[in-house]
Amino acid sequence: MTLEKGLLNIIITGVGGQGNVVASQIFASAAVRDGFYVSVGETYGAAQRGGAVMSHVRLSEETQYGPLTPEGRAHIVLGFEPVECLRTIGSFGNEKTKVIVNSRPVYSIDVLSGVSKYPAVEDVLKAITELVYSLHVVEATELAKRAGDPIMQNVVMVGCLVGSGFAPVKVETLREVIKETFAKRRPEANLKAFELGVKEIKRTSPL
Amino acid sequence: MSSVVAKGPRDLQKNVLAKGLCSACGACTNLCPYIDMVKGRAVLIEPCGLSEGKCHDFCPRAYIDVPSLDKLIFGSYRKDLALGSNISVTKARAKDSEIKSSAQYGGVVSALITYALETGEINAAVLAKSQDSISAEPIIARNRKEVLECAGSKYIVCPTVTGVLEAMKQEKSKIGVVGTPCQITAVRKMQASNFEIEADKKGLLIGLFCTWAVSPDAYNYIRELVGPAKVTKLDVPPPPANIFVIQTEAKKIEVPLDEVRKFIMPACNVCFDMTNEFADISVGTVEGEEDWNTVIVRTKEGERILQGAIDAGVIETKPLEKARFDHLCEASLTRKKRVLTETEAEKMAYLTIREEDKSKIVS
Amino acid sequence: MSYVEIDEPGERVLLMGNEAIARGALEAGVDFCSGYPGNPASEILEALARAAKKFDFYVEWSVNEIVALETAGAAAFTGLRALTAMKNLGADVCADFLMTVNLSGTRGGFVLVTGDDPSAHSTTSELDTRNYARFAEIPLLEPATTQEAKDMTKWAFDLSQELGVICMVRTVTRLSHSRGVVTLGPIKRDKRSAEFSSQDVWTSGSSTIECMFHSILHEKLKRAQEKFEESKFNWYVGKEDADFIIITSGTGWPYSLEAVKLMELENEVGILKLGTTWPLPEKLVASHLKHAKEVLFVEETDPFLEQNVKILAAELAAEGVGPIKFYGKKSNHIRGEYGAGTGELNVDIVIRALTETKKATYPLREKEYSEKAQKLLGSYVPARSMGFCAGCPHRASFWAIKKAAKWDGREAIVTGDIGCYSLGLLPTGFSVAKTLHCMGAGIGTANAFGNLKDFGLDKPVIAIAGDSTFYHACMPALVNARWNGSNILFVVLDNNTTAMTGHQPHPGTGVNAMGDSSPRILIEDICKAVGAEVRVCDPFDLDEAVQNLYEMLQNEGVKVMIFRHECPLAFPEEKKARVYVDQDRCLGDECGCVRFCTRVFGCPGNIWDYEKGKAKIDEVICNGCGLCAKLCPVEAIIVEEVA
C-alpha cells in the first residue's frame, strides 16, 4: 500500500495515564521494521497528571518528517477517549479522516468537580461523524478486561488500528514488537489484547 | 413547622461566624465535612454551595424566632415576659447523698437525668464531662455512674450539641440533653426543622440557667494560676463576692471575677435568655442557699418527669420565697432590657420577638 | 526496549531524541555523566544510567544542576569525557560555574546538554538557553532531527576536547521527546584514566589572569567558527541564489521544509539550515545574505539567530550586502498564540508566515470546516485540567494544610515550589498555594513573608516543598530563616521519589542513579540540625496531620512538618484494595455532603453517577488507597482489602 503523497499522519489521543506513549512506541517501532521513515511527536511530563496527551505518528516512504502534524492533516485518529478524540479532530481532522475510538469516557476533574459537564457519549460520537470520513466505535476497555487488565486498552486499540488496514503496518510485525516490548511484563496478556483488537475492528462497521 | 429563614453556610459565615457571635454550641459541626469546631469557635472550611442548610437552620445565633418556638413547644405565646412560658417555679434538691456530694449546688440535674435513665424515660443522655475540672467535652451517658462523672458546673464552653447529633445517630429516640440556653434552643430548632434528622424529634431537655461562658483561652489563664496541680472545682459565688474560685487538691485560689470576664464569649453578650426558656425543665442556683436549686417547670412532659422523680423519692421540693422569685424575674428582665437597648442592632438581628413584648420589656 | 545500547553499527532504529543524545555520548566514549531530573531532559541521563554498568562508565543524579556541572567539569579536568544534562531552568542554577569553567577551560571533552521547553508544557519558563552559549562565549550546537541529536552530541565531545572548552548542545521538547529513525554508529569504549598532576591548576583566574583567559576563550571561539564554516550540520536547499530565504535551526528545519513543500514553494525559496549556531559561521551565512532580498527566521523560542544574523548583516552593509527585509519575531510574522517570541513552533505557524510575507494563498483548513469544528468543540468538549493522580498523598497533604489554615483563621500565606505538588496552586490542590517560581523559591520567599511583622504583615506563613526539591534548593533558605529569625512553617512533602520528572531517586531514597544502594540522608535530621521544631506525619492520617499543623502554626520560629507517604505510581501496591460506594448510604447532593468526594476532594477515581444521582468509584482509575472512605461523612465508601 502506498501512502497518499508519500505521507501518513496518525494521531493517537487520550488522557495522561492511558498508555499513549507505549502505544505510539510499539506501532512506530513496527513501522520502522516494515521499512518506513517514522517520526513520533508527543507531549508528556505534566500531562501524566490527568491532562490530555496526543501522540503524532507520521509514516513516510521518502524522508523523515517533523514531529507535528499540520492543522487539518490527520489521516487517522486513534482515540483512547471520546472527548479527547473530538478535541483532536477539532484541530487536526478533515473530511477524509478515518477514526477509531474507545467509547469509555475518562472524566476530567473539571467535570467531576461540577465546573464542566461531560456530554453524552452518543453526542460526542455524533459530532465526530459530522467532521470525519468514517468512525469505528470500540469498547476497548472491556476487551482489555477480557484479556486480563483494563489498562491494556491501548494495546487493544493498536490492534484495531493495524487490523483495520488503514495503516500499512503488518499485523505480524506488531506481534513481534509486542513480544519483545512486553517480554518481562505479561507478554501473553498483551498479545491477547492485541489480537482482540484486530478481530474487533474487522467485526464492527463504521458509523 | 417550617423554618422562618431558610439560608445556608455562606449566611452562617457572614452573619454569625465572621461577627464572632458563635457560642460554640456545636449544632453546626458534626453535620458535614465543611464545618469544624476549633477551640470554642465553629470554622467553615469552605461553603458547600447549598443556599439552604441544616447548619444555618440549627444555629441559635443565625436566627431565633421566639414566638414560633413558643407556639411549637408550648402551644401558645408566652405570658410571662420575665421567665418565659412556665407551669411552676420551685426550689428543689436531690435526696441521694452521692449525688449531692458530686453536685455543684442542689444536684437536681444529675438526679433528674439519673432518674430518667433508670426508669427508661430516656435511653441516653448528652452531658458535658470534664477530665480536668477545667475544660469539658460532650459525652453520651447511659447509666448513673456515667452521669455522676459529669456533675458540676462548667465555665468553659463545651459544644454539647455535637454530642446530641451523635446520640441521634445511635439512639434514634428518647434522648436526654442537659445544656445552656443556646444549646437547648439549637436542639429545639432541630426539632422544628424541615430537614430530616435520623431520630424522632423528641427528648427530655433540661436547661441550665446561664449568664455567660468563657472561651477555651481561659484554660491557659487558669493553668498558669494553679501550675501542674489538679483542679477539683471551679465556682462563681453569688454577688456581692465578685470573685472566681479555683479549688485544687491543696488549696483554694480566688481571683477577681473581672479577670475571668475578659474571656467571656462575645456570643453571650447578645443572649436574651438567662433562664433557658425553651427547656422542659430549667434548673439554676438559689442565691445564698448552696444546697438547693431553683427549678422552673415549663412543659407537661417536664412536669410529669419532675413529679415522677418526687414520687420516687429522688428529689424533694420546697416553695420558692417571693423575694427570691422577684429577684430572679428582675435579673432576667434586666438582662433582656440591656440586650434589647444597649447592644448594636445589627448584632441582635438574629432575634425575633413580638413587638408588643419588646415594648413592655424595654419600658 | 533500549536500542540505545545495542552494538550494531549501521542498524536503523527508532529512538527518542533524548535516547539519541545518550547514544551519541556512548559513541563518543563518555566516561562521566551527571545531571538533575528536569523535563524535557530527564531521559538522557536515565538512558545513560541503564547503560552505565554494561559499558563501564559512571552516571550520577546530582543534588542539583550546579553540583552536576561542577562534578562533570572536574571529571573533564582530569581528562575524562564528561556530559551534564538538564532542563532549561537548570542552566540558571549552574550559571555560576558555567561562567567560570568557560574561562578555566577543560582537558577532556565536556558537553552540556540543555533541554528547552517552548510553550512551557511542563515547566515554569520557556527561557531559551542558547542565550547562555552566547553569554558564556562557548560553542553551541542545535540538532534538528533525531539523527543529528546523536551525531552532534558525539561530535561535541571531539570539538570540546580539541578546543579545550565546554560545548553546549541545545534541544527542545519536540526533539527530545519525539521519536525518529536513527542509523547507529559504533560504540567506542576506551576507558580513560583520570589524572590530576601536581602541576595542574584549574581556575578562571581574576584580574589580569582572568582577562588573559578571557582572551584565550575568544581565540577558542574563533577556531570553533572556522570549523563551523565547513560543518556538515549546516546546509542550504532549494532555489540557488533565491531572493527569499528562510534561515532556520533546530526543529525549525523540519517545519520549514514541510511548510515549503505544502505550499509548493520549493522552486522559489531557499532554506539555510544551521546546526552550529554560536558562533555563527559568518562566511557561510554571508554567502547567502549576499543573494537574499528577504529573510524569514524560523527558530524556537527567542529571536537568537534573528538578532545575530541582523548584526552580521549590519556589519556587511559596508560591503554591499542588503538592503534585506527581515521577517521573524520582531516583525511579528512568527508568532504563537500569545504573540511573537512566545510559544512553540509548528508547521502551521511557518505556513502562515509564508502566506503573509510571500502573499501566497494557502488555506490552513477549509474555513467552513474550522467553524463547524469550533462549534462542536464548544458544545461537547469540556476542559481537562491537571490534577493529582488517584491515591496521591499530595491531595491529602493539601487538604490538611487547607483545614489547618482555616482552623487557625489568620489567612495564612502559602508559598509553592516545583514538583507534582506545584499543582497546589490549582483546584486539585484546593488552590492553597499562592506563589510559584523556581526550585526552592517556596521557602525562599517565605523567609520574607514570615519576617515583615514590623511592616504590618502578621499572618502565619506556610512554605511547601517536595523531598527532591528540599535537597536541591531549600537548605540555604532554611538556614537563613533560622538565622534571620523568620517565623515560618515549612511543610516538606516526602513521597520518596522525584515524581514529576519520572520517579528518579534522590538522596533520601537510599538508591542512586545506577540502581546501587546509597546512604539515606534524612530530611528530619538536617532540619533538626538547623534547630527547627520538626514533626513527621503520614498525611493519610488526616486528623493527626491537621491537628499537628494547627499546633505548629501557633508556635514561633522555624517549624518543619514532614508529610511522608510514598508515591503510588513509584511504589504501586501488589494488590489493590477494592473500593466501592454503598449508594444507599451515599447522601449525594444533600445537606451534609453535597458531593464532597467528587466535587471537593476531587480524586479522579471518585466519579458521579448521573443516573442514580450518587457517587461511584471508577475501578480502573481507583488506586485503592481508601482516603476518600475516611473522609466520607456517612461512611458510604467501602474499602475491601484483597486477600
User: pLDDT per residue over C567-593, tens digit each?
Assistant: 999 998 888 899 999 999 999 999 999
For cell 572536574, what's the residue? C74
Same domain, B153 and B127: yes
Chain B neighbors of C631, CB-CB under 8 A:
33
Chain A neighbors of C373, CB-CB under 8 A:
89-91, 93, 131
Q: Is C631 on the interface with B (CB under 8 A)?
A: yes
C-beta atoms of B50 and C591 within 8 A: yes
How confident is residue B201, by pLDDT bands cut at 50, 70 and 90?
low
* All cell numbers assigned to C438: 523556581
For chain B, how many structural domains are there in total? 2
Number of helices and strands in chain C (H, E): 20, 25
Q: Which chains touch A (3 or more CB pairs under 8 A)?
A: C
C-beta atoms of C591 and B45 within 8 A: no
Same domain, B278 and B351: yes
Domain boundaries, chain C: 3-186+204-229, 235-358, 393-564, 578-640
Q: Is residue B201 part of a domain?
A: yes
Same domain, B255 and B140: no
Chain B neighbors of C615, CB-CB under 8 A:
none
Convert the pLDDT of each residue in C220-279 to its tens digit.
Answer: 999 999 999 999 999 999 999 999 999 999 999 999 999 999 999 999 999 999 999 999
Query: What does the pLDDT read at residue A44?
Result: 60
Q: Which chains touch C (3 or more CB pairs under 8 A)?
A: A, B
Among the partner-chain residues C181, C369, C382, the one whose CB lies closest to the CB of A94 is C369
Q: Identify the closest residue of chain C to B40 by CA–CA distance.
A: C407
Among the partner-chain residues C402, C550, C593, the one whose CB lies closest to the CB of B32 is C593
B32 CA: distance to closest CA in chain C (Å): 4
User: To probe the interface with C, which of B7, B28, B34, B198 has the most C CB atoms within 10 Å?
Assistant: B34
How confident is residue B307, by pLDDT bands cut at 50, 70 and 90?
very high
- Domain C578-640 CATH assignment equals 3.30.70.20: yes
Chain C neighbors of A65, CB-CB under 8 A:
254, 258
C383 CA: distance to closest CA in chain A (Å): 7
Q: Is residue B280 part of a domain?
A: yes
C-beta atoms of C382 and A25 within 8 A: no
Residue B235: domain span: 218-261
Same domain, B281 and B253: no
How confident is residue B199, by pLDDT bands cut at 50, 70 and 90?
low
Query: What does the pLDDT read at residue C147?
Result: 96
Same domain, B185 and B253: no
Q: Is A113 on the interface with C (CB under 8 A)?
A: yes
Number of neighbouring beta carbons within 10 Å of residue C172: 29
Same domain, B208 and B296: yes
Highest mean pLDDT among B77-86, C130-139, C312-321: C130-139
User: To probe the interface with C, which of A58, A109, A176 has the most C CB atoms within 10 Å?
Assistant: A109
Same domain, B225 and B330: no
C-beta atoms of B32 and C407 within 8 A: no
Mean pLDDT, chain B, whole residue set: 92
C-beta atoms of A32 and C12 within 8 A: yes
Convert the pLDDT of each residue in A31-43 to its tens digit.
Answer: 999 999 999 998 6
> Quick one: what percent of chain A has pLDDT higher than 70?
95
Q: Is C385 on the interface with A (CB under 8 A)?
A: yes
What does the alpha-carbon distance between residue B5 and residue B28 come to, in Å, rounded to a whole number? 16
Q: Is A38 on the interface with C (CB under 8 A)?
A: yes
Query: What does the pLDDT read at residue A43?
Result: 66
Number of neighbouring beta carbons within 10 Å of residue B217: 12
Contacts 24+ apart (CB under 8 A), C544-552: C545/C396, C545/C397, C545/C400, C545/C404, C546/C400, C546/C403, C546/C404, C546/C407, C549/C400, C549/C401, C549/C404, C549/C489, C549/C491, C550/B38, C550/C404, C550/C407, C550/C408, C552/C489
Q: Which 34-63 residues of chain C touch chain A by CB within 8 A?
A: 39-40
Q: Is B240 on the interface with C (CB under 8 A)?
A: no
User: Of the ranges A173-177, B243-247, C6-10, which one carries the lowest mean pLDDT score?
Assistant: C6-10
Same domain, B133 and B203: yes
C253 CA: distance to closest CA in chain A (Å): 8
> Quick one: what percent of chain B has pLDDT higher than 90?
78
Beta strand segments in C488-628, E: 488-494, 533-537, 558-564, 578-581, 606-609, 614-617
Q: Is residue B14 part of a domain?
A: yes
Convert the pLDDT of each residue in B135-180 to its tens digit.
Answer: 999 999 999 999 999 998 899 999 999 999 888 888 878 999 999 9
Query: What does the pLDDT read at residue A2?
Result: 54
C-beta atoms of B48 and C407 within 8 A: no
Q: Is residue B3 part of a domain?
A: no
Q: Identify the closest residue of chain C to A56 by CA–CA distance.
A: C178
Kindly provide the b/e burial profile for residues B325-348, where b requires at least 16 CB atoms within 10 angstroms of the residue's own CB.
beebbebbbebbeebbeeeeeebe
What does the alpha-carbon distance between residue A159 and residue A194 come to, in Å, rounded to a whole number? 5
Which one, of C232, C246, C80, C72, lies nearest residue C155 by Cα?
Answer: C232
Same domain, B100 and B119: yes
Q: Is B31 on the interface with C (CB under 8 A)?
A: yes
Q: What CATH class is the domain C235-358?
A: alpha beta
- Domain C3-186+204-229 CATH assignment equals 1.10.240.10: no
* All cell numbers assigned to B216: 477555651
> Rounded mean pLDDT of C517-543?
97
Please name the CATH architecture into which domain C393-564 falls: 3-Layer(aba) Sandwich (3.40)
Q: Is B72 on the interface with C (CB under 8 A)?
A: no
Chain A neighbors of C259, CB-CB under 8 A:
70
Among the partner-chain residues A50, A90, A141, the one whose CB lies closest to the CB of C386 is A50
Q: Which 120-179 residues of chain A touch chain C by CB within 8 A?
A: 123-124, 127, 130-131, 141, 150-151
How far CA C219 is from CA of C164, C201, C316, in Å, comes to 11, 20, 22
Convert the pLDDT of each residue in C37-47 to its tens digit.
Answer: 999 999 999 99
Q: Identify the closest residue of chain C to A122 by CA–CA distance.
A: C380
Among the partner-chain residues A47, A112, A150, the one whose CB lies closest to the CB of C620 is A150
Number of neighbouring beta carbons within 10 Å of residue B322: 8
Mean pLDDT, chain C, whole residue set: 95
Among the partner-chain residues C12, C346, C621, the one whose CB lies closest to the CB of A68 is C346
Q: Is residue B4 part of a domain?
A: no
For C56, the enclosing helix (H) or strand (E) is none
Question: Which residues, 6+ apart, have CB-to-CB distance to B354 below 8 Å?
Answer: B66, B67, B77
Please name each of the domains of chain A with its CATH number: 4-203 (3.40.920.10)
C-beta atoms of B32 and C600 within 8 A: no
> Rounded mean pLDDT of A140-162?
95
Q: Is residue B2 part of a domain?
A: no
* CA B133 remoteness from chain centre: 18
Same domain, B114 and B146: yes
CATH code assigned at B225: 3.10.450
> Rounded mean pLDDT of B55-74?
94
Q: Is B103 on the interface with C (CB under 8 A)?
A: no
> Quick one: what percent of chain A has pLDDT higher than 90?
74
Partners of B204 in beta bridges: B176
Among the partner-chain residues B45, B48, B55, the one whose CB lies closest to the CB of C406 is B45
Q: Identify the closest residue of chain A to C145 by CA–CA distance.
A: A66
> Rounded mean pLDDT of C480-507?
96
Partners of C84 in beta bridges: C34, C112
Beta strand segments in chain B, E: 35-38, 41-44, 64-65, 88-94, 124-129, 137-141, 175-179, 203-208, 231-235, 243-248, 252-256, 281-285, 293-297, 315-319, 351-352
- C3-186+204-229 and C393-564 have identical folds: yes
Q: Is residue B1 part of a domain?
A: no
Same domain, B180 and B225: no
pLDDT at B196 over 80: no
Same domain, B272 and B348: yes
What does the alpha-carbon distance between residue C586 and residue C583 come to, in Å, rounded to a whole number? 5
C-beta atoms of C591 and B53 within 8 A: yes
C-beta atoms of C631 and B33 within 8 A: yes
What does the alpha-carbon distance between residue C81 and residue C153 come to, in Å, rounded to a whole number? 12
Q: Is residue B314 part of a domain?
A: yes
